[in-house]
Amino acid sequence: MSTAPSCHDALWHVARSELYVIDPATLGIRAANPAACRNTRYSADQLTALRLVDIAPQLAQDDLDGGGADGKPVSTHFARADGSRYPVTLHLVRIRHDDAPALLACVDDDSTAMALARVQSRFDAIVSHTPGLVYQFRLDADGNASFPYVSEGCQALLGLPPAELAAQPERFLELVLPEDRQSYLDAMLSSAGTLWGWNWEGRIWIDAWKDVKWINLRATPHSLPNGAVQWEGIMTNITESKLEGLEVRASRARLAELTAHIEKVKEQERTRIAREIHDDLGGNLTAIKMALAMLSARLPDGDQALHDKAAYVDELADRTIDAVHRITLDLRPSILDFGLVAALDWQVKEFSAQAGIACAFQSDAGEVQLDADQATALFRIVQEALTNIAKHAGATRVTVRLQCGREHVGLNISDNGRGIAPADRSKPASFGLRGMAERARALGGTLHVTPAEGGGTVVAIKIRRQGYNSAP
């Protein structure tokens, strides 16, 4: 078995390039390093039994005589033991080995370089077509920050050349608006501490365009051996979508305000109409009933037909008074004047009597101090929910539960009916649920519809009581 040259023996064994000692006269291989054995898949003994042209069949004599032996690169292909071939770049250098002239062949596997070039080309193509800034960000253990890699998207997004940001990484924090910097730093340190994804949205000032942009930063962290953390991620411009989102929220807020105003006006009009019906029609009907009683008393005893007619008119007046009373209650139940708890208790009993469904009301407070508009809106939501249960649920039991907290009021209406399919909630004509949700939203609250345990549906409403404008 041939041995490697004694000079630079460690380098001979660890070199990534293939190294061969060649006899200049016969081109026989005197020695080969481990990298040569790995790439050609020959053993050292097998290689030393071959000539250079055996593993480089395309190598011409001109390549050896015309400069190859002067250290100039020669491109050719090597053949492996299994017959496969791979491209190489060959350098031949004249040396002395064992006190005899020799050639040292340094061979670099071009297939790896070509694969790396293809990967780099694909990476460059992906990065160049990515709508944003692709980057690496590093935070050292001493707090020093740097950008090891910044794509060309830096100029379009931040108004800075990539080289300038890489040379002055502190420039990025300077771009972030002062009111958003703390959230940026908190998100970075949290991601570094937990090694969870870094997801941050904030505003930056682009001095080149004198403009503010919203950006989204998403990056994945990993720790480095020296205690540093490095992220690979992307920054994108979300200004347009963010402004649209803000406009949508503002529009929803205006819509909720308008809905609340409309509901308030509607309830006021209902109250006015109910009062007029009660006062005017009710008073007139009472007067008619009294006059009819006086007339009936003066009818001749022998005229049974007139007595029957008077009795019919009296009964008709009673039915009309009942209708006026019912319409007045539908428009604005006077029971609301006694508080929400009393009104809900009355409504539940009325529903149970009219629909023939067992219905129970529970409250953890004797009374709830609510604004009149809030109390009316909650009462209407319960009315609508009970109406929907009677029409669609097929339930045999309903429970209405009022829960009063220091800051919030909650209402749960549950039934044991067939439940609501998800598709039913989005039906074009499903105005009942939408109306309830809009009423709750107009109160600054929420409404959720969920399946009940054992079947049925739970409608949960939660609103903030007047005087509490923000969460603790």
d(CA 81, CA 97): 26
What is the rounded CA–CA span in Å between residue 88 and residue 113? Answer: 10
Q: Please give the full DSSP string across 113-179, using - where no structure is assigned.
A: HHHHHHHHHHHHHHHHTSSSEEEEEEE-TTS-EEEEEE-THHHHHHSS-HHHHHH-THHHHHHB-HH
C-beta of residue 388 within 8 angstroms of C-beta of residue 424: no
Q: In which residue are the tokens 């097929």 written?
A: 394
Closest C-alpha among 377, 381, 383 to residue 355: 383
Chain centre distance of CA 431: 28
Q: What is the DSSP letter of 452?
A: P
* Cross-strand partners of 358: 397
Fold adopted by 9-115: Beta-Lactamase (3.30.450)
For residue 218, what pLDDT is reported?
Answer: 95
Superfamily of domain 335-464 in the CATH hierarchy: Histidine kinase-like ATPase, C-terminal domain (3.30.565.10)
**Contact between 38 and 85 (Cβ < 8 Å):** no
What is the reported pLDDT for 4? 46
Tell whether the torsion through CA atoms of 190, 191, 195 and 197 is positive or negative: positive
State residue 423's pLDDT score.
Answer: 63
Those residues whose C-beta lies under 8 Å from the C-beta of residue 51, and which sit 6 or more positions away, are 26, 27, 28, 29
Provide φ and ψ at 386, rounded to 5°: -65, -40
Boundaries of every domain in the chain:
9-115, 130-237, 259-331, 335-464
- Measured CA to CA, the distance from residue 245 to residue 133 in angstroms comes to 23
What is the distance between the alpha carbons of residues 180 and 63, in angstroms, rounded to a whole number?
Answer: 65
Say if CB 438 and CB 259 are below 8 A apart: yes
> Exposure pattern of 322-348 as b/e (b: 16+ CB <10 Å)?
eebeeebbebbbebbeebbbbbbbbbb
d(CA 92, CA 139): 45
**DSSP states along 148-162:** EEE-THHHHHHSS-H
Look up the CATH architecture of domain 130-237.
2-Layer Sandwich (3.30)
- Please enumerate, as own/partner, the contacts of 374-377 that have beta carbons within 8 Å and a separation of 24 or more: 374/409, 374/443, 374/463, 374/465, 374/466, 375/336, 375/339, 375/340, 375/343, 376/267, 376/336, 377/263, 377/439, 377/440, 377/442, 377/443
Query: Edge-to-edge strand order for the sheet containing 74-79?
Result: 29-32, 18-22, 100-109, 85-97, 74-79
Q: What is the DSSP letter of 51?
A: B
CB 314 within 8 A of CB 288: no
Tell me how far the alpha carbon of residue 206 is from its chain's centroid: 27
Left if phi > 0, otherwise alpha if psi is -120 to 50, otherwise beta: which for 8? Answer: left
- Cα atoms in the Cβ-side hemisphere of radius 13 Å centred on 428: 0
Provide the pLDDT for residue 427. 61
pLDDT at residue 62, rounded to an integer:
67
Sequence-distant (6+) residues with CB within 8 A of 157 are 132, 133, 213, 215, 235, 236, 237
Full pLDDT tens readout for the chain, 472 residues? 444 444 467 788 888 899 999 998 899 999 999 999 999 999 999 999 999 999 999 887 666 654 445 557 888 999 999 999 999 999 888 888 888 899 999 998 888 777 777 777 787 777 777 788 999 999 999 999 999 999 998 998 999 999 999 999 999 999 999 999 999 999 999 999 999 999 999 999 988 888 899 999 999 999 998 899 999 999 999 988 888 888 888 887 787 777 777 777 777 787 788 777 777 777 788 888 888 888 888 888 777 888 888 888 888 888 888 887 778 777 777 777 788 888 888 888 988 888 888 899 888 877 777 777 788 888 888 888 888 888 888 888 888 898 888 778 888 888 888 877 666 655 655 566 777 777 777 777 888 888 887 778 888 888 887 644 433 3
The domains spanning 130-237 and 335-464 adopt the same CATH topology? no
